[in-house]
């Protein structure tokens, strides 16, 4: 049986404790309470970054480390792109990192921050919901907000209209 991107990412997240895990190079990975279960129920899998498609969007910000603002601003700049947030794996690192990217109307992964992203699992937000979330949280990166604020996954559940 082939392991899917969602299976791979949630299995790796299951091995991490909720909170911060310090990785080589000083990177931190925050796993919000309820995020794993939320991704299992509502998360979708997305394919590897389509670098050819990404290159067509010349007004996307490519600042490394600013994926949440890069993706949010990209979704607001291009009406045919949708903001998606969750976890992704890039290169040979093999560790899921909190990440945001875009998907186009064909479901292709548009990632201006990482060129070598290959496994993505996340929740897509339509622009209206993205704007509501940005105004409510006053920050980019909804999962980061959930973890830092202690509000758990309730905010996303409300946004998605998901139960418990």
Provide the percentage of residues in the chain whose pLDDT is more than 90.
29
Amino acid 22: pLDDT: 35
Amino acid 129: pLDDT: 83
pLDDT (tens, 9 = 90+) of the chain, 164 residues, equals 456 666 666 666 665 544 433 333 333 344 544 666 677 777 888 989 999 999 999 999 999 889 999 999 999 999 999 999 988 888 877 778 889 999 999 999 999 999 888 888 888 988 888 888 888 778 888 766 665 665 555 666 666 665 54
Amino acid 119: pLDDT: 86
Amino acid 35: pLDDT: 67
Model-wide pTM > 0.85? no
The gap between the terminal CA atoms of the chain, to the nearest Å, is 30
Amino acid 103: pLDDT: 96
């Amino acid at each position: 049986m082939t392991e899917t991107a969602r299976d791979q990412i949630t299995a790796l997240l299951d091995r991490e404790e909720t909170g911060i895990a310090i990785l080589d190079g000083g990177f931190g990975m925050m796993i919000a309470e309820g995020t794993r279960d939320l991704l299992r129920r509502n998360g979708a899998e997305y394919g590897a970054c389509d670098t050819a498609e990404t290159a067509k969007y010349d007004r996307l910000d490519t600042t490394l480390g600013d994926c949440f603002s890069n993706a949010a601003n990209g979704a607001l700049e291009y009406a045919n792109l949708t903001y998606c947030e969750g976890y992704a794996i890039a290169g040979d690192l093999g560790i899921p990192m909190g990440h945001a990217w875009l998907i186009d109307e064909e479901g292709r992964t548009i990632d201006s921050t990482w060129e070598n992203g290959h496994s993505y699992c996340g929740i897509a937000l339509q622009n209206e919901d993205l704007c509501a979330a940005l105004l409510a949280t006053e920050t980019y990166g909804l999962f980061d907000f959930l973890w830092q604020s202690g509000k758990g996954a309730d905010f996303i559940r409300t946004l998605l209209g998901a139960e418990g």
